[in-house]
């Protein structure tokens, strides 16, 4: 089978969302739902600071993997926060939150309280996810970042992930970006092994979400 890595288009987003949803099952972003993921990947595709590459089986043209990245993660998240897409995706969560708030205390059943608690904790996690790019430990490190990468299970262990990384490095290189970072859960052993194999050097550990250690790697684009 021959694989081609291309710049993604609007038509690829639905498949990219499915790949993310099926591939990163423990990630917090996934718990915000496919609608949120759709808005996020659309923003990565359309923002000047975003990079979205898709690997396709040349014969069928089916997406079998993707990599999403940004030339500046804090700028990307700031722009995303101020954009229409974020308003749209945040609306559902916030609307649900305020619907629960309008009930009087004795009308709030324990299951509603539970839901309210879950939504509050989700809002807090969104806040944590958006603020990690300004973590002091990342000071002085490149702001370019690989945000997510997924290869369909049936194609893992093949050249697809190497091709995606190669094309991402070339795309950054063309933008005169010499290195980028990647933040990954310390428990995702396969992804950690992959980033190290792709030249990643461990720079520091951070807690994007309290109590969960993530490793930060720097990867040079000219290897």
Ligand X SMILES: CC(C)(COP(=O)(O)OP(=O)(O)OC[C@H]1O[C@@H](n2cnc3c(N)ncnc32)[C@H](O)[C@@H]1OP(=O)(O)O)[C@@H](O)C(=O)NCCC(=O)NCCS
Looking at residue 12, the DSSP 8-state letter turns out to be G
Among the listed ranges 87-95, 120-128, 131-139, 154-162, the one in contact with ligand X (CB under 6 A) is 154-162
Total of residues contacting ligand X (CB under 6 A): 17
200 binds ligand X per the rule CB under 6 A = no
184 binds ligand X per the rule CB under 6 A = yes
Task: Measure CA 74 to chain center.
Answer: 13
Nearest-angstrom CA–CA distance, 52 and 9: 8
Among the listed ranges 85-93, 150-158, 201-209, 211-219, the one in contact with ligand X (CB under 6 A) is 150-158
217 binds ligand X per the rule CB under 6 A = no
Residue 120 CB, nearest distance to ligand X (Å)?
Answer: 26
Query: How would you classify the pairing of strands 201-209 and 50-57?
Result: unpaired
What element of type H or E holds 77?
A: helix 73-81
Nearer Cβ to ligand X (33/100) = 33
Q: Residue by residue, what is the 3-state secondary structure of 79-146? A: HHHCCHHHHHHHHHHHHHHHHHHCCCHHHCCHHHHHHHHHHHHHHHHHHHHHHHHHCHHHCCCCCCEE
210 backbone φψ class: left, alpha, beta (φ>0; ψ -120 to 50): beta
Among 87, 99, 134, 193, binds ligand X (CB under 6 A): 193
194 binds ligand X per the rule CB under 6 A = yes
Nearest-angstrom CA–CA distance, 93 and 101: 13
Among 151, 168, 208, 216, binds ligand X (CB under 6 A): 151
Nearer Cβ to ligand X (30/115) = 30
44 binds ligand X per the rule CB under 6 A = no
211 backbone φψ class: left, alpha, beta (φ>0; ψ -120 to 50): left
Nearer Cβ to ligand X (120/213) = 213
Span 80-139, contacts to ligand X by CB under 6 A: none
Nearer Cβ to ligand X (83/156) = 156
Looking at residue 42, the DSSP 8-state letter turns out to be H
183 binds ligand X per the rule CB under 6 A = no
197 binds ligand X per the rule CB under 6 A = yes
Binding site for ligand X (CB under 6 A): 23-24, 148-151, 156-157, 161, 184, 188-191, 193-194, 197
């Amino acid at each position: 089978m021959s694989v081609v890595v291309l710049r993604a288009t609007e038509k690829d987003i639905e498949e990219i969302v499915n790949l993310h949803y099926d591939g990163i099952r423990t990630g917090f972003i996934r718990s915000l739902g496919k609608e949120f993921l759709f808005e996020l990947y659309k923003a990565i595709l359309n923002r000047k600071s975003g990079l979205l590459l898709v690997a396709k089986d040349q014969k069928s043209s089916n997406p079998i993997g993707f990599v999403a990245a940004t030339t500046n993660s804090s700028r990307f998240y700031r722009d995303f926060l101020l954009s229409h897409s974020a308003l749209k995706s945040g609306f559902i969560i916030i609307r649900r939150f305020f619907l629960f708030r309008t009930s009087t205390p004795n009308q709030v059943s324990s299951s509603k309280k539970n839901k309210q608690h879950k939504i509050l904790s989700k809002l807090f996690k969104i806040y944590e996810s958006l603020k990690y790019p300004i973590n002091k430990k990342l000071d002085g490190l490149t702001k370019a970042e690989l945000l997510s990468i997924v290869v369909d299970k049936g194609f893992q262990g093949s050249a697809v992930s190497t091709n995606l990384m190669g094309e991402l490095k070339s795309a950054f290189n063309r933008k005169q970006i010499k290195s980028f970072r990647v933040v990954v859960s310390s428990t995702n052993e396969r992804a950690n092994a992959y980033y190290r194999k792709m030249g990643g050097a461990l720079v520091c550990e951070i807690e994007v979400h309290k109590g969960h250690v993530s490793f930060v790697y720097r990867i040079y684009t000219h290897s």
